[in-house]
C-alpha cells in the first residue's frame, strides 16, 4: 500500500496543491457515449449532471463532446466545439468555481475552450498522436496536460493489442511522449495508462496489478476505469451494473498510488477516497 504523494498543478496561473487524491467527474455532452446514463445531449440533462457532479464533491469536471467508445461516430471539430460550448457555458453558470478539463484530442478545439471559457486542463485520449499540433499548443498555452496511452483511434484501437509486456510497453511509449512534451515547454503532465484503450480485458488487469510501476514518472497518475468493459466483461454484466466493480478497482488504484480518479459516480468515488486515505494515514 502506498500513501498519497501530494502534487501541484498550475491552474489558470494559480497553484493548486493537492494533499489528497482528486475526483474528476465526467460530463459527456454527447448522444452516444458507451454508458448510456452519462449522455447529456441537451441543456436540461447537462444542468442536472453538473448539479450531480457538484453535489457529489468533485474537484474537476471533465467535459467531452466526442465519444471515444469503439466504433463511435466521427464528428467534425466544429460540431465537437459546438457541443462543448453548450456544456461549458452551463458549467460557468452553475459551477463557476470548479476546475474544468477538456476531453479532446484536437488542439484547436482545446485552445478555443481554454481561451473562450477558461478551461484549465487538456485531457487528450490520443497522447498527441491524432493531432500533430497538440504538444506545441499545450506548451504555448501553459496548461496541465493529461497524457493518455492509446494506439490508433477509437475505430481501430481494439485491434491494436499486441504487446511484448503491456506495462513496460505503455511506460516506454509514455516516456517518449513525456520527453516531447518537455521539449515543447509543458511543465504539468498527468500520466494516464489508458485503461480500456487498445488493451484487452486481461491486459487491463495486468496494468492495474503493476500500477505502482508508473511512479517512475514522478508525476500525478490518473486512473479512469469507471464502468468500463474491463469490469462488465469480466463479471458478465453491463455498464449499468458496474458501480461496485468500479469502486473496487478505484480502491485498488488508490492503494497503488493513483492521484486522480476519473468517474461517472462522483459521490461514491469521494467516499472511496476518504476511506482509503483514512486507512493509509493510520
Q: What confidence score (pLDDT) does residue 37 get?
A: 62
pLDDT 10s digits, 2-51: 789 999 999 989 999 999 999 999 999 987 555 556 678 788 989 999 99
Mean pLDDT, rounded, for 52-60: 97
Q: Is residue 6 part of a domain?
A: no
Q: Is residue 3 part of a domain?
A: no
The mean of the pLDDT values for the chain is 94
Write down the pTM of the prediction.
0.95
Grid coordinates 469503439 are at which residue?
A: 70
Cell numbers describing residue 154: 477509437
Where in the sequence numbering do the catalytic residues fall? 228, 262
Residue 68: pLDDT over 90? no
For the chain, give the number of residues: 282
Other Cβ atoms within 10 Å of 200 Cβ, number? 16
Instruction: Using DSSP, state whether 182 is helix, strand or coil.
Output: helix
Please say whether the beta carbons of 218 and 259 come within 8 A.
no
Number of compact structural domains in the chain = 1
Q: What confidence score (pLDDT) does residue 71 get?
A: 61
Q: What confidence score (pLDDT) does residue 139 get?
A: 97
Q: What confidence score (pLDDT) does residue 3 get?
A: 83
Please say whether the beta carbons of 162 and 141 come within 8 A.
no
Cell numbers describing residue 214: 508508473
How far is Cα of residue 92 from the mean position of the Cα atoms in its chain?
20
Residue 274: pLDDT over 70? yes
Residue 100: pLDDT over 70? yes
Cell numbers describing residue 97: 468555481
Q: Give the CATH number, domain containing residue 240.
A: 3.20.20.20
Q: Is residue 77 part of a domain?
A: yes
Residue 130: left if φ>0, alpha if ψ -120 to 50, beta else—which one? alpha
Q: Is residue 60 part of a domain?
A: yes
Other Cβ atoms within 10 Å of 17 Cβ, number? 8
**What distance in Å separates the CA atoms of residue 168 and residue 185, rounded to the nearest whole number?**
26
Q: Where is pLDDT greater, at 39 or 80?
A: 80
Q: Is residue 100 part of a domain?
A: yes
Q: Is residue 79 part of a domain?
A: yes
Q: What confidence score (pLDDT) does residue 181 get?
A: 98
Residues sharing a CB contact under 8 Å with residue 25, sequence separation 6 or more, in sequence order: 52, 53, 56, 58, 60, 61, 62, 263, 264, 266
**Domain enclosing residue 170, as ranges:** 20-280
Residue 231: pLDDT over 80? yes
Q: Is residue 10 part of a domain?
A: no
Mean pLDDT, rounded, for 134-151: 97
Q: What confidence score (pLDDT) does residue 40 get?
A: 80
Q: What confidence score (pLDDT) does residue 103 get?
A: 96
Q: What confidence score (pLDDT) does residue 32 get?
A: 59
**What distance in Å separates the CA atoms of residue 120 and residue 138, rounded to the nearest whole number?**
11
pLDDT 10s digits, 177-194: 999 999 999 999 999 999
Q: What confidence score (pLDDT) does residue 156 get?
A: 85
**What distance in Å separates the CA atoms of residue 120 and residue 97, rounded to the nearest whole number?**
12
Q: Is residue 266 part of a domain?
A: yes
Mean pLDDT, rounded, for 266-275: 98
Amino acid at each position: 500500500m502506498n500513501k498519497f504523494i501530494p502534487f501541484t498543478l498550475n491552474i489558470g496561473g494559480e497553484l493548486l496543491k493537492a494533499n489528497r487524491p482528486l475526483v474528476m467527474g465526467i460530463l459527456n455532452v454527447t448522444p452516444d457515449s458507451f454508458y448510456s446514463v452519462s449522455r447529456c445531449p441537451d441543456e436540461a440533462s447537462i444542468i442536472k449532471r453538473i448539479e450531480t457532479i457538484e453535489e457529489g464533491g468533485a474537484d474537476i469536471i471533465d467535459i467531452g463532446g466526442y465519444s471515444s467508445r469503439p466504433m463511435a461516430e466521427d464528428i467534425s471539430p466544429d460540431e465537437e466545439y459546438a457541443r462543448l460550448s453548450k456544456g461549458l457555458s452551463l458549467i460557468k453558470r452553475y459551477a463557476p468555481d470548479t476546475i474544468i478539463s477538456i476531453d479532446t484530442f484536437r488542439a484547436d478545439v482545446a485552445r478555443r475552450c481554454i481561451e473562450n471559457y477558461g478551461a484549465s486542463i487538456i485531457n487528450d485520449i490520443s497522447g498527441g498522436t491524432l493531432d500533430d499540433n497538440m504538444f506545441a499548443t499545450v506548451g504555448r498555452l501553459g496548461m496541465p496536460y493529461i497524457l493518455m496511452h492509446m494506439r490508433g483511434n477509437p475505430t481501430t484501437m481494439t485491434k491494436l493489442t499486441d504487446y511484448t509486456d503491456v506495462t513496460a510497453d505503455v511506460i516506454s511509449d509514455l516516456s517518449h511522449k513525456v520527453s516531447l512534451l518537455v521539449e515543447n515547454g509543458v511543465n504539468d503532465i498527468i500520466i494516464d495508462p489508458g485503461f480500456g484503450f487498445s488493451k484487452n480485458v486481461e491486459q487491463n488487469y495486468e496494468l492495474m496489478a503493476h500500477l505502482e510501476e508508473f511512479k517512475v514518472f514522478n508525476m500525478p497518475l490518473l486512473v479512469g476505469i469507471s464502468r468500463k468493459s474491463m469490469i462488465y466483461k469480466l463479471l458478465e454484466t453491463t455498464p449499468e451494473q458496474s458501480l461496485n466493480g468500479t469502486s473496487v478497482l478505484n480502491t485498488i488504484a488508490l492503494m497503488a498510488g493513483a492521484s486522480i480518479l476519473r468517474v461517472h459516480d462522483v459521490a461514491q468515488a469521494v467516499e472511496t477516497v476518504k476511506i482509503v486515505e483514512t486507512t493509509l494515514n493510520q
